[in-house]
């Protein structure tokens, strides 16, 4: 639910805003989840000891599955998430 200024809430009904930022409007209205929360709930099988090349291969495989389920996924915490893999990949490159 929107907790900002009343005039800011009204902008979400503007057709230009809805066209330019449809996902943002859905998130603010509570009809969608932010992608970072979805990525943090998408479980993967990887270890910190994997090589950078292995991590990128795992990332590509997870990305395909993530894209196919992201719109219907309700976030929940998992032991090893797609978001964690993305962060780990940044530090090993």
Same domain, 41 and 23: no
Same domain, 24 and 37: no
When pLDDT is cut at 50, 70 and 90, the band that residue 90 belongs to is: low
Residue 89's pLDDT is: 62
When pLDDT is cut at 50, 70 and 90, the band that residue 1 belongs to is: very low
CA distances from 68 to 38, 43, 71, 72 (A): 12, 14, 8, 9
User: 């894209």: which residue's tokens?
Assistant: 67
Range of the domain at 17: 1-32
Reported as half-sphere exposure (CB side, CA atoms, 13 A), residue 27 has a value of: 11
Same domain, 54 and 90: yes
Residue-wise pLDDT for 26-38, tens only, equals 988 888 888 888 8
Task: Please state, for a pLDDT cut of 70, what percent of the chain lies above it.
Answer: 86
Residue-wise pLDDT for 52-64, tens only, equals 899 999 999 999 8
- Please say whether the beta carbons of 59 and 89 come within 8 A: yes
What is the total count of domains within the chain?
2
């Amino acid at each position: 639910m929107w907790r900002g200024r009343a005039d800011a809430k009204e902008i979400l009904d503007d057709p230009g805003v809805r066209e330019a930022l449809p996902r943002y409007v859905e998130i603010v209205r509570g009809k969608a989840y932010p992608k970072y929360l979805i990525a943090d709930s998408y479980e993967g099988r990887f270890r910190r000891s994997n090589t950078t090349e292995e991590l990128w291969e795992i990332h590509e495989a997870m990305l395909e599955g993530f894209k196919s389920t992201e719109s219907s996924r309700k976030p929940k915490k998992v032991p090893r998430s797609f978001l964690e893999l993305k962060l780990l990949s940044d530090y090993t490159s």
